[in-house]
Structure 1
């Protein structure tokens, strides 16, 4: 969907290749294979993604590293628009995940939903999705699918970062559920008050959630 929004916006207008999406027989209705299909099915999500790519196009190119343009951009606006597009896509995908999650263990399903819940805290703080900070997230991401045996006691093949990451995500999600979502609501309110609060929120996420020290 985001790829098609990029095409619609003209962001990928210089691509020298012709791309064709081939639909499969199974779960055909879960996907869209053209701009027109996505527009009919998910107009709001397409609008949000298109806004991101249009903003990127509106910025002046300062230079190039090889074929990669270096753009004069407002990082705060870019990141906000990127997170908005991410949230719109997640909102579209979550109901579809519920339909196919029966193929995973209950523990894996719970972790997926907990992870998406935890990421709402990152979105509210407009966490910087740069290469380094993305690596920090993936550093603790489990190296294999979770099984039901991992529900209460994590297996010894998980390293300390993975255990800390899984525990942090699970705890944050459970506390938010226990408060009926009030924790996330208050966090979003606090983050919306100022850029200073967002910076502090990113600091907390980095120190206490993403890359715990040992």
Structure 2
């Protein structure tokens, strides 16, 4: 059993450096171009009384997150100052990591979309990361509009479709509800509880992760054809990352600003190329090598056991006390030793 859990221990250890870090300025933790991204609807184009957002331009997609964080800030004040404990921070921070690591660029290299030599702010429709992230932006954003939190009606906002593959993407509240009804219901349930004054932090985490995993489940195989554009190490990492979300969701990892920022330091800082083999990637840190190796091990064990490992994980993490104890245990390891296999 400990052999099964040890890879997860190595991954989750890095999460707790957040509790040890002393950041003097929370704005230092914001994702790339956060300040330059739109922070209110009026900063987007208006046509026929509708706000038109192009989610295939990095600052415009990031602006959707920025508005979402601003509009929900008042509901998270009870959990801490400066909106740091808003659990929606995980979404824009992940998008920022994808941008910084080059994962939003055109992996086929048929265009200069997303590259420094071309349009760095372009988000490629051929990027597996960008396509899945689209739904972890559009659905929570549009569900928030539908819930009334955003202060506009569902008819007042629409997203521009990508240059190709338009039928794969929903672009407004009504099309997302019809195409992804379960995920939209989960997000609406989350926002309903966000607005309840007595909702606990733990309850909100549960509803957030329910919505998050349901969103990814709804698009699980739609973009599998994009794997052909990536090296084998990167496509394996993509599959491992997708699976790992289910494990993290069971643990109900707190997706606050500081914790996600610290966790992402252990994620691969660039696209993986042929020849990259963790834990021996020379330009990766020790933690980055360990996390990458651990994610791949978890996927292999999950496949080998026929998902038995996930069932065991869910049983072990069934109670709040068990999750709390594991988090404390991992924090203790971080404080007293370096993670090793």
TM-score (norm 2): 0.53
Q: Secondary structure at the match of 1:180?
A: coil
Report if the CA contact (8 A) 1:176-1:183 is conserved: yes
The 1:8/1:94 distance shift into structure 2, 3 A limit, reads same
Residues 161 and 8 from structure 1, CA distance in 2 versus in 1: closer, same or farther, beyond 3 angstroms? same
Partner of 1:82: 208
Matches within 5 A, 1:59-98: 59=197, 73-98=199-224
Structure 2 match to 1:37: 175
- Range with bigger deviation, 78-87 or 5-14: 5-14
**Structure 2 partner of 1:196:** 321
Corresponding position of 1:213: 338
Given that 1:52 and 1:85 are in contact with CA atoms closer than 8 Å, whether structure 2 keeps it comes out as yes
SS of the residue 1:99 aligns to = helix
The 1:50–1:91 alpha-carbon spacing in structure 2 relative to 1, beyond 3 Å, is same
Show structure 2 runs of 5+ residues with no match: 1-138
CA distance in 2 between counterparts of 1:34 and 1:148 reads: 39
Of residues 308, 311, 321, the one that matches 1:182 is: 308
2:206 is the alignment partner of 1:100: no
Contact 2:241-2:295 at 8 Å conserved across structures: yes
Does the 8 Å CA contact 1:125/1:199 hold for their aligned counterparts? no
How many Å apart are 1:170 and its aligned residue?
Answer: 1.4
- 1:129-188 Cα offsets, whole Å, 9 max, x none, are 122221232011111001121146743111212111111211222222221111110110
- Name the CA shift for 1:38/1:168 in 2 (closer, same or farther; >3 Å): same
- Return the alpha-carbon distance in structure 2 between the equivalents of residues 147 and 207 of structure 1: 35
2:279/2:293 contact within 8 Å kept: no
Q: Choose which of 24, 27, 30 in structure 1 pairs with 2:162.
A: 24
Query: 2: distance between equivalents of 1:151 and 1:26?
Result: 34
Q: Measure, in 1, the Cα distance between the counterparts of 2:315 and 2:160.
A: 43
CA distance 1:144–1:34, shift in 2 (3 Å): same
2:158–2:172 Cα contact (<8 Å) kept: no
Q: Per-residue deviation at 1:195?
A: 1.3
- Measured in 2, the distance between the counterparts of 1:9 and 1:21 equals 18
The CA RMSD measured in Å over matched residues stands at 2.4
Contact 2:278 2:289 in 1 (8 A): no
- The residue aligned with 1:68 is none
Report which of the two has the higher share of helix. 1
